Structure 1
Amino acid sequence: MSNFLNPKITNNYENKIRHVGFEIEFSNIDLDEILNILKNDFQFKEKKINNFFYKLESKYGDFILELDFELLTKQKIKKGAKKLSQTIGIDIKTNDIEAIEKTIGDLSKDIVPYEISTPPLPLDKISLVDELTNKLAINEAKGTKHKLYYAFGLHINIEVVSLEVQSLLNYTKAYLILQDFINKDAKIDIARKISPFIDNFKTDYIKHILDDSYKPTIQEFIDDYLKFNPTRNRSLDLLPILTFIDEKKVRNKLPNEKIKPRPAFHYRLSNSMVGSSNWQISEEWNRWILVENLANDIENLELLSKEYLTHLDNLINLTSWEERVEKWIQNH
């Protein structure tokens, strides 16, 4: 039986079943062990790209396994060595390069995580990722809490229900209202909080978006997002969906950001608690369901938007906003 709650809307913007992708970071396990799990327990077919980057074929598409270190996965050492050998006229042997790569890989494994990225999975099949993390945990894989400096994350890419601006605005409002509560409820690790990956949205953007007079076109919505958030460093990253809608606009504004256009919200907040007692990805997904529920409850979305704006404007509040949200959740 799956522990994943269903969203209110299960079809995507094309009226097909929604898909969800996951990116899971972890360490404390050898690459060969991970490959064995993916091949033997899940019958995925291995396609080796290089020593630190693998694709594994499944009926849903390719799973990606990599050491999250571009110097190795994109073979920058090998390419640099080849260029150097041409420049100085000395042949640098492939075996020597691979030995250097292996040494760097071994040294970096304790700092840089392995990452498994799933293809977009149908909504009714996403329980597969709990099965996968359970297998990793049995083989002693460890996540965020294993060491103080492990800022490992779980990213969830949730296909949107609509490309219309009102839907995107409603989901954004819902997340802005809930972000402080979700941060607290998820017990986000300090190493992740201080990392340059998952900043909360700032008060000026929250006030701008929640104002009931804000009725943007899609182009205005994109422009405003880029103005207030010219970065991937947000706990809910809208750049992939905005780039999917208007790639030229986003690229012109953020030419150096690494953005993959896709019709999905890029939810980056969660700890990756692989190996922690009883933890499952479904816990993190079910927090996202709070966003889904509020985004599709217009009456309460408008109510909480007004209350939050008042809360932000007050010099003194007798209760925290997280407490107000928690009370609302308990009653709905």
Structure 2
Amino acid sequence: MVNNSVKFVLPQQLNKADGSPRRVGYELEFAGLELDKVVNILAKQLDAKIEAKSQAESIVFSESLGKFKVELDWQYAKETAAERAQELGKDKNDDKLTHWLTKIASQIVPVEIVCPPIAIEDLHKLEPAINQLTSAGALGTDESILYAFGVHINPELPDLTPGVIANYLKAYSICQDWLIKTHQVDPVRRVTPYINPFPDQYIKVVLSYDDKVTISQLIDDYLEHNPTRNRALDVLPLFKFLDENKVLAKIGDDRVNARPTFHYRLPNCEIDQKTWSLAQSWNIWSVVESLANRQNLLTELSQQWFEHYSIIQFKKAPWHKTLDQLYQNLLSA
């Protein structure tokens, strides 16, 4: 039996400033299944249509949820399959070369599902498909030292004003070490550069913001201390959405896609474990959501952070107990 009991914690801010629902995009990396198998499971569980692009990339279209991109996370395989598909036309799905290539690739590189932005209240609709992938033999982070697979969460913010963004950055900065501990981030993933934490110097800047902070200052400070995609909380997509020219002047990486979301990379993908649920990674992130909307507590924990890091750090961060309790309160609500 797979897990159906974990519920998604609903944040205080379910809607955006314009009244529309906040949405969240998920990205999942895993191995053990060929791409066609993944596509067929998604299509069946989501009552969706398949729009094949190549043997290394497909679209699964759900009328209610949107377009799911399923691909081998290996650029060579994708490019080769796309070229062969163009050459072969209608016979693209019968190409033995790309079938062999994608089959081999599926054993050493992850299949990635890129979900469309989905309203927070609808995230539970993904669970039946995840359960079926688990039952079919999908392999997650723990199955091999080669599998540094993750779950990426792309949450829309409730508001794009500088004060709201600053509060989320403060909340994440305070929670950063607690999140690593609570997610039990795989040691192999931690030594990769992709989920590096914010440096302490940047956190000091963030926790010093007052209500006069501007978007320009937020972006400038971030680019000064984090001129890279390789952060556990990648804010470049959001800042590129807000000021593309400023970000492009410092970051020339075309993989940065402008969107009104954070790009959160810490959670492991534990899809092979029958007790696992997408809700678990979201619920841990929800502590950041909750703290960002509690101004008095945010101020109190910010002060604790400064006091703790002004001395030699032999003691556990004192605010972690508060975050533990906040997490338990969210789960039991």
TM over 0.5: yes
Aligned residue identity for 1:320: K
1:31 aligns with 2:47: no
Q: Find the counterpart in structure 1 of residue 200 from structure 2.
A: 203
Q: 2:231 aligns with which of 231, 234, 245?
A: 234
SS at match of 1:197: helix
| Structure 2: segments with no counterpart, 5+ residues | none
Matched residue SS, 1:224? helix
The alignment status of 1:67 with 2:72, answered yes or no, reads yes
Give the aligned residue type for 1:6.
L
Name the counterpart of 2:9: 5
Q: Give the match for residue 325 of structure 1.
A: 320
CA distance in 1, matches of 2:247, 2:316: 36
Q: Could you tell me how far apart the structure 1 residues matched to 2:187 and 2:257 are? A: 27
| Distance of 1:226 and 1:158 partners within structure 2 | 21
- 37, 44, 48: which is aligned to 1:44? 48
Equivalent residues in 2 for 1:115-154, closer than 5 Å: 115-154=112-151
How far did 1:257 drift? 4.6
CA RMSD of aligned residues (A): 2.2
The percentage of aligned residue pairs carrying the same residue is: 33
State the one-letter code of the partner of 1:279: W
> Mapping of 1:1-332 within 5 angstroms?
3-59=7-63, 60-75=65-80, 78=83, 98-211=95-208, 215-317=212-314, 319-321=315-317, 324-330=319-325
Whether contact under 8 Å (2:134, 2:274) holds in the other structure is no
Q: 1:328 to 1:146 in 2, by over 3 A?
A: closer
Query: How big is the shift at 1:314?
Result: 0.7
| Counterpart residue type for residue 320 of structure 2 | V
Q: Which has the larger radius of gyration?
A: 1
Unaligned residue ranges in structure 1 (runs of 5+): 83-93
Amino acid corresponding to residue 326 of structure 1 in structure 2: K
Once the two structures are overlaid, the 10-residue window that deviates more, 197-206 or 256-265, is 256-265
Paired residues of 2:175 and 2:323 also in contact (CA < 8 A): no
Residue 277 of structure 1: CA displacement? 3.3
Deviation digits for residues 269-322 of structure 1 (CA, Å, limit 9, x no counterpart): 1101001130111011001110000000000101111110111111244x211x
Q: Which amino acid aligns with 1:17?
A: P
CA shift, 1:248, in A, is: 1.3
Q: Structure 1 residues 177, 250: closer, same or farther in 2, change over 3 A? A: same
Instruction: Report deviation, 1:127.
Output: 0.6
For 2:200 and 2:325, how far apart are their aligned partners in 1? 26
| Mapped contact 1:231–1:257 kept (Cα < 8 A) | no
Q: CA deviation at 1:228?
A: 0.5
Counterparts in 2 of 1:201 and 1:13: CA distance versus 1, 3 Å = same
Q: Evaluate the alpha carbon distance shift between residue 316 and residue 39 of structure 1 in structure 2; reply closer, same or farther with a 3 A threshold.
A: closer
Q: Give the Cα separation in 2 of the matches to 1:46 and 1:145.
A: 30
Of the structure 1 ranges 225-234 and 23-32, higher mean CA displacement relative to structure 2 is found in 23-32
Runs of 4+ off more than 3 Å? 74-79, 97-104, 212-215
Per-residue CA distance 1:245-273 (angstroms, 9 max, x = gap):
11111112111251111111111111010
Q: CA deviation at 1:154?
A: 0.3
**Corresponding residue of 1:90:** none
SS in 2 for 1:46: strand
